[in-house]
Amino acid sequence: MKKSVNSHCSLNIILICVAMTILLCSPIVACAQTVLTGNPPVPETNSVRGLKDYYKNFFPIGVSVSPASLAGAESDLIRKNFSSLSAENVMKSGLIHPQENSYAWDNADRIVDFAQQNGLLIRGHTLCWHKQTPTWLFKDQEGKPVTKEVLLARLKEHIQTVVSRYKGKIYAWDVVNEAIDDNDSVFLRGSDWYKIGGEEFIADAFKWAREADPKALLFYNDYNTESPAKRAKIFKVLKRLKEAGVPVDGIGLQGHWDLTTPTEKTLRESIEKFSSLGLQVQVTELDVSVYSPAEKDPSNHQFTTEREQRQMEQYKMIFRVLREYKKEITGVTFWNVSDRSSWLDNFPVRGRKNYPLLFDQQLHPKKAFWEVVKF
């Protein structure tokens, strides 16, 4: 009898050991160990959840793309991590409407088709801007400035042709981009739109876009929206438009930020001020430069441990605030897919490599990514 009991105990011990081995290797325990040690998950691109999945109960997560982004490894990254697309350049008037009687649809169509094939939202960018705009819009056949009536007629034709083509496909448009001057003592930017068309070009652009697609959301889009002086001017314009019944649905905070700006205070103030007008708020062109505005040395382009830490903390703060305002924030779009290529590689210092996004040059999630999703 004693021998039988010992054999039974030995069998139990073996079974317990096997069970513990299975349990310790399970994903549940692995997850628990991560929480207990405080270490981030292993940054593998093939993990189940993408950035958009973490934020599905908050707001769509978008990214700006070029046609070249839609093939190869970057396209896989896009499908996995983002729920919305913006065309980085190819919908701007200089590229999509290079001549008065000629439109170049192919590249824009590719992005729209990719979005539809993959069940992604798409934002249109941009209908009226002072840059990347063809000079023919402002000139007559002799090269002289056109009249106000001619310019506004051309703007109407451009807006309604482009918006109508993508009616029902593009859910939101950046209608007017960067119409406010950076100089605190100047109100509207002295662009050809303003010099020839007067202030009403802004209201007219929104009205014509609404006529072309009554269901699309219409945004005014600008940068430095956290600067109190510029924010006040933008607010003044938007308040006037709303009071006049102009169909403005939202404000795009571009979000070209850095390691020190915005502060949590100024970001909160901007969201609260613009949403007080009943406007949707979206961050439309998000990146976080690893350089301060004062750093101009083109040889100083190392992604140091210090820069990495400060960028991680800035991204963590930004997304913590955005989550808190999930009722006001209806979308967040990153400007470019990964650190492989960013417009900041050539601005404001040409040839200086920047590292402003959540995915590195190998398309792996950076430390900042894990802070953005760790909530």
> Which secondary-structure segment (H or E) carries 149?
helix 148-165
pLDDT > 90: percent of the chain: 83
**Which pLDDT score is estimated for 53?**
97
Summarised one tens digit per residue, pLDDT across range 68-124 is 999 999 999 999 999 999 999 999 999 999 999 999 999 999 999 999 999 999 999
Summarised one tens digit per residue, pLDDT across range 250-265 is 999 999 999 999 999 9
Q: Please say if the pLDDT value at position 32 is more than 60.
A: no
Structural domain spans, the chain: 1-39, 45-373
> Which secondary-structure segment (H or E) carries 331?
strand 329-334
308 catalytic, yes or no? no
Choice among 178, 226, 328, 371 that is catalytic: 178
Peptide bond into 348 cis (omega under 30): yes
295 catalytic, yes or no? no
Q: What average pLDDT does the segment 223-228 reach?
A: 96
Of residues 8 and 352, more confidence is placed in 352
With vertex at residue 363, the alpha carbon angle to CA 341 and CA 368, rounded to the nearest 5 degrees, is 90
Please give the mean pLDDT across all residues of the chain. 89
Q: Please say if the pLDDT value at position 31 is more than 60.
A: no
Summarised one tens digit per residue, pLDDT across range 283-339 is 999 999 999 888 888 888 889 999 999 999 999 999 999 999 999 999 999 999 999
Residue 294 corresponds to which tokens in the numbers above? Answer: 């004062």
Helix (H, G, I), strand (E, B) or coil at 340: coil
Neighbours of 275 (CB within 10 A): 17
pTM of the model as a whole: 0.86
Assign 47 a pLDDT band (cuts: 50, 70, 90): low
Choice among 226, 285, 328, 371 that is catalytic: 285
**Which pLDDT score is estimated for 21?**
43
d(CA 341, CA 353): 9
* Matching CATH number, 45-373, of 3.30.540.10, 3.50.50.60, 3.40.50.300, 3.20.20.80: 3.20.20.80
Least confident of 50-54, 100-104, 163-167, 293-297: 293-297
**Which pLDDT score is estimated for 281?**
98
d(CA 307, CA 310): 5
Assign 27 a pLDDT band (cuts: 50, 70, 90): very low
